[in-house]
Structure 1
């Protein structure tokens, strides 16, 4: 950061110098002479070059900040939005009265602790990442999903939320079935519960995500 600020100061000094040279030469009697013209246009070119370089540097810095922000909002293990990103999403939804066409699903990885105890945390983390990948694929084009707590995830559905929730749950069920068929020694057991605001009519998203509707999908 210090080197970046130093670079900005150097660029500023050069730009001021060339601008002053331009103003002085503009008033000079020999402005149109070859020597002064070359110096003037060299100065102008230098200004433009530094401005272009500054724009490139600013663009790179902005992209770097965006990457850092994305990393700060991403869970390191699952590569899904983390608790902070989920809280930001909930805050956005809490700023207005909750619409009816919204639903949520809470998904819990039931046997992760047993996998950790039996096969070790390295194997448990590998299965946890696999489960997160299944969730990501299941949620594609349907909802926002993030890690709510240690083994729990929250999915939020908007616009045709009822249909999207059911499709998500079916995708999730099938994804876990495929995993368990090919990884019998490290199976995934989960449960998912959904709440639909077109049935509950809550005005706050925080009330909706606490609800247990009784609609339960479980894969042993």
Structure 2
């Protein structure tokens, strides 16, 4: 197993990689590569795209690495490798992000990323801290890793509005119902940070590493 964690200037890169390394060591095989080299991504068995910050900055950071987006398309869409997007890394799989300006995403999971807009003044933005994730899909294999409701850690001001309800795997409530997990084929994305979600997050990461879509 070779897990490629894509380094494109994202804020939570090291903490995500460290959590994955912990799980890989417990499984007892494989290695984790923090990389911005498309050639190394070609040798991966799993791909992780972390993300923290603005949609536009993260997309520009990814575009700035020559050949990276084409390589990700080849490995994820064509070769069907297991892919995990975390927080903004998940949001980048959308068609478009509407943060200050409309910016195209990777377009792997139909939908758009929009600002959280609670009407209750006591609900602050960003949505930050622990919140319950409720599984909405009884068919997705992720149900073997998470309980029907699991507490996970969130830090975000924008959320993913999926176009197809079949791609909504889990939700969380913050006045309105927000996507917490999206999935399509070999792609899984979490709005929460599994690397900050203690044992539940590590269990989710282990599930991802063992997943064979």
TM tier, shorter chain?
under 0.3
- Computing the radius of gyration from Cα coordinates, the structure with the larger value is 1
TM-score (structure 2 length as normaliser): 0.24
Query: Which one has the bigger helix percentage?
Result: 1
Q: Would you tell me which structure has more strand in proportion to its own residues?
A: 2
